[in-house]
Every structure is written in structure tokens, then in C-alpha cells.
Amino acid sequence: MDSMLGSSKPKHDKLHIAMFPWLAFGHMIPFLEFAKLLAQKGHRITFISTPRNIDRLPNVPPSLAPLISLVKIPLPRVDNLPQDSEATSDVPLKDVAFLEDAYDALHDSLAHFLQSSLPDWILCDFAAYWVPPLARRLNVPSCFFSIFTAATLGFMSPPSAEEDYRRVPEDLAATPKWVNFPTTVAYRYFEASKIGPPCLGWEPHKVGVINRFHGTLRGCDLIAVRTFKEFEAEWLKLLERIHLKPALPVGVLAPKPQEGPEDDDDASWRSIKDWLDNQTKGSVVYVAFGSEAKPSQEELTEIALGLELSGVPFFWVLRKRRGSADTEVVELPEGFEERVKGRGVVSTGWVPQLKILAHDSVGGFLTHSGWSSVVEALQFEKALVLLTFYADQGLNAKLFQEQKIGYLIPREERDGSFTRTAVAESVRVVIKEEEGKIYRDKAKEMRAVIGDVNQQSEYVDNFLDYLGGHKMHHGDH
């Protein structure tokens, strides 16, 4: 059994690890991927979330089901949070703060769980700044498992909350003073102004996203980052220097194509595959902005007309709404689909993204820069065209650009607007032009590391060795 997992007999005893992700599918899914990897190595996982979220997660493979318990704790009622809203996709962006309040109110239920089951470790997310102190009182070591890049953590987390001098968007559009190596990683002005007061905790009574990051990083016993050394060595060192604790890369947790639910819908994959099979190798740009980023009507129009203008074949997964709470439906320009018929496909339903990215005809990926999507693309050596919308995407895009795996679509610095010409030129550079060869070559290089199953497995083993060596013996006190 162990030889199949690419590692010799593990040095650690079997652990019981609890997981408590933030209430967003972009967080719960990577936590679940990680749970499956840990369970494959024989450890017992308790995955904790709210009832509706657990019901909406992909199924755990039957072979791992005995080791992964999905525990439902009801989300407390909070004023202004609509009934049945349990994830960020259920609420408009402006109401995510009420979801944060409800998440914080899970404190007592989580305390009860930890007290009664005393896991060896708890892995928590950035938003759960109150978990490390709670776990410490109960003698349970805590680990911040970051689905974000190490660069995002380094940018977000000053050495102490008092040292965070950033008060205006301009401050977020510059490299922080505590970063001690040259880097371009920072927000652009329009991204920083969107992040604004609620994130920085400038609003009274709100914790603020940066304070959540900082509280979790300061309180936990260990930082585990979904990344790898070759990619972010300096940022990992910075985290250890600032927070005086280990920051361990756990690999990128790249999902395997055969694990998706795509077999449910073979007919839809067949028609996509037929279309892709008819395109020239490396000629298609795949366009998708994740499950929650949605262009405004104006942005959508420029993206569409830019793709049309580029002359490049494209497959575009278009979400017209951001979940059920979204009432602003966006529309494609008049006559657009007719004009690009044959060369471009627009799909508004679910598609098997991994299978599309794995296809030889796809040469590049126009993406919102979410780390999970980028990992999926790089494991199939697809170069990136970057168009950010919110949250950590702006920081990721700068990191990817700095590493030459992505090309940023030029935008107006103050308001973030961009033109169809900029979209068309960026797509052409990355997919076909000579000056974009550097991005295509770099994507191949990244594939070699991300696709190295043994190396990625070793990261997970090192992490488990650390957990095994630093667990509390609950019988001792």
C-alpha cells in the first residue's frame, strides 16, 4: 500500500486531524483535497462545516470514506444574513461581513467539538483568528493551512498589528516595508481601493480581513502553505522571520482529472471534446474566472469584443450570475455569438475544467488569477493571461507575472478599466506571438515540478512528520 503512495513507511503514528475551513467553496474544496491526501496516508480526518456546505461538497471516494468524517455544525442566525446562506456564493459580496459574523459565532460549537474529541491537531483557515487561542486552552495544537500563496500571506501580515502603517489605497499599492527582498508583489491602485476599509479593519466593530490573517498567523503553532519551495522560497523564509514559527510548503495539491464529477455528464464533455479535437494544437485560449468572480457588464463587453478581435479560437465558460443571490445578470454583446460561430464557444453551464485544460488544443488560460485555477492550468503547462477581479487575485497576478508564467492585461491604474484591444493583444502574445514564448516555456518548466507526484507527496510526508513530532499527549496533563 505505502509503495503506491510514492513514499516508504511513514515515520509518524496515525493522527486525528480536524479541519475547519472558511465558508467559501474556493476554500472548502482545497481543504477537502488536502483531507483526501492525508487520509490516503492512513490518517483520520474530521472535516467541520455547516450542513448545507457539507451537502454540497463533492463525494469522498469510497476507499477514503472510513477515514474522513464530515461533521455538520449549524450556522447561528445572524441579523441581515438571509436564511440558508452558508457560503460566500449564497450572498452578495457586500454582505460577506454578515457571514463572517455567523462564522465567528461557531466558536462555542467548535469548542464543544474540540473538548469532546481532542484531535491531535486542528487545521484552520485565515478567517478563524479565534481558533488558535481556543485550541491552545484545550491543549490542541493549531496549524493555519493557507490555500493562499506565501506571497499573499507575506504581503498581508505585518510583524505585528501595530506595525501595519497602511491606511490608504496607495499604501497597499506598494511593497510593504517588512519585505526584505526585491519584488513587484503589491496591489495596483484600483485593486487596493476595492479592498478598502472593510478589509483593513478601519470600520468600527469589524475585524477586517487583514486582522483575521494576522490574528491567525500570530496565534497558530504552525503555518502550512499550499505552495512549493522552488516557487516561493523567499516568501516562506519571510513568514518564518516575521512570525517566528515554521512555514512549511505542503505542495500544490493538484487535483487529478479523473476525480471530477464529469462522468455524470458525458454528453456535454463529448461535444466539447469534439470541438477541441478539431482545433490546431496549442491554438485555443480557455477563458474562465472561477466560481465567484464576475465581470461587470462593461468588462464583459470588452472581454467578448477582445476575444472576437484577437482572431484566436476560444472556449469561454461564462457565469452570468454569481450564485443565487446575484440579481444583476450580464449579457453578451448583440450578435457576438453569431459572429464568432465555429471559432469561439461560450458555455454557461458546468464544464469539466480539468479535462479542457488537459487537452492539447488549449494553449493558454485567460484567468482571474485564483491560485487553485492556476495550479490546475500549470499542471498541464498552460501559459496564463491575467485579469483580476478582487481579493488576493491582484497579488497572485503580480507574483505570476514576476515569475514569467503570466501576462497581465494592461489596465487603467485608477479605475481598472481595460479595452478590447488590450484583451486581444494580450491573448495573442501568450498564445501565438514570439514575445510570448517566454511564458509558454516557463509554463512547461512549472509542469515538471507540479506534475512530479513523488516530490509533491514528499511535501505532505514532511508536513505529517512535523505534526507527528509535535502533537500533545492528552493523557499527560
Question: pLDDT tens-digit profile of 384-397?
Answer: 999 999 888 999 99
If asked whether residues 39 and 92 sit together in one domain, one would say yes
Residues 466 and 365 in one domain: no
Phi, psi of 254 (to 5 degrees): -65, 130
Confidence at residue 8, expressed as pLDDT on a 0 to 100 scale? 42
Residue range 304-321: mean pLDDT, rounded: 92
Residue 204 has pLDDT above 70, yes or no: no
Q: Are residues 98 and 235 in the same domain?
A: yes
User: Of 340, 440, 299, which Cα lies nearest the Cα of 382?
Assistant: 440
pLDDT in tens, 357-385: 999 999 999 999 999 999 999 999 999 99
**Both 425 and 466 in a single domain?**
no
Whether the pLDDT of residue 330 is over 90: the answer is no
pLDDT at 9: 46
C-alpha cell at 15: 493522527
Domain range for 364 is: 261-450
Q: Which residue has the cell 503555518?
A: 223
Per-residue model confidence (pLDDT) at position 367: 95
pLDDT of residue 230: 86
Question: Can you give the pLDDT at residue 390?
Answer: 80
Rounded-to-integer distance, Cα 180 and Cα 169, Å: 21
Average pLDDT over residues 165-181: 90
5 is written with which cell numbers?
503512495
Which pLDDT score, from 0 to 100, does residue 474 have?
57
Q: What is the band of 207 on the pLDDT scale with cuts at 50, 70, 90?
A: confident
Residues 29 and 61 occupy one common structural domain? yes
Number of domains in the chain: 2
Choose from 275-289, 308-322, 326-340 the range with maximum mean pLDDT.
Answer: 275-289
pLDDT at 197: 55
Report the run of H or E that residue 425 belongs to, with start and end. helix 420-431
User: Rg of the chain over CA atoms, in angstroms?
Assistant: 22
How far apart are the C-alpha atoms of 349 and 250, rounded to whole Å? Answer: 33
Span 430-442, mean pLDDT? 95
pLDDT(302) > 60: yes
Burial of 270 by CB count in 10 Å (0-12 exposed, 13-18 middle, 19+ buried)?
Answer: exposed
Across the range 125-143, mean pLDDT stands at 97
Q: What percent of the chain has pLDDT over 70?
A: 91
Tell me what pLDDT residue 10 has: 47
Residues near 74 by Cβ (< 8 Å), separated by ≥ 6? Answer: 50, 51, 109
Residues 11 and 60 in one domain: yes
pLDDT at 257: 66
Per-residue model confidence (pLDDT) at position 2: 41
- Residue 325: pLDDT above 80? no
Instruction: Give the pLDDT score at 321.
Output: 66
Residue 198 has pLDDT above 90, yes or no: no
Spatial strand order of the sheet with 44-49 comes to 68-72, 44-49, 16-20, 121-124, 142-146, 222-225, 247-249
Q: Look at residue 7 in the predicted model and tell me its pLDDT.
A: 43
Which pLDDT score is estimated for 259? 46
Same domain, 317 and 185: no
Residue 123 has pLDDT above 60, yes or no: yes
Percent of the chain with pLDDT over 90: 72
Per-residue pLDDT for 417 more than 90? yes
Instruction: Provide the pLDDT confidence category of residue 6 given band limits of 50, 70 and 90.
Output: very low
pLDDT of residue 163: 81
Residues 24, 36: one domain?
yes
**CATH number of the domain where residue 368 is located:** 3.40.50.2000
**Are residues 240 and 287 both part of a single domain?**
no
Same domain, 387 and 425: yes
Cell of 67: 477515514
Cell of 116: 469532546
pLDDT at 78 over 90: yes
pLDDT, average across residues 3-28: 76
Give the position of cell 509554463.
443
Q: Give the strand order in the sheet containing 314-317.
A: 344-347, 314-317, 284-288, 362-367, 383-386, 406-408
Confidence (pLDDT) at 354 = 92
Co-location of 228 and 332 in the same domain: no
Question: What per-residue confidence (pLDDT) applies to 267?
Answer: 77
d(CA 239, CA 214): 11
Of 456, 408, 419, 231, nearest to 310 by C-alpha is: 419
299/195 same-domain check? no
Residue 196 pLDDT grade (very low, low, confident, very high; cuts 50, 70, 90): low
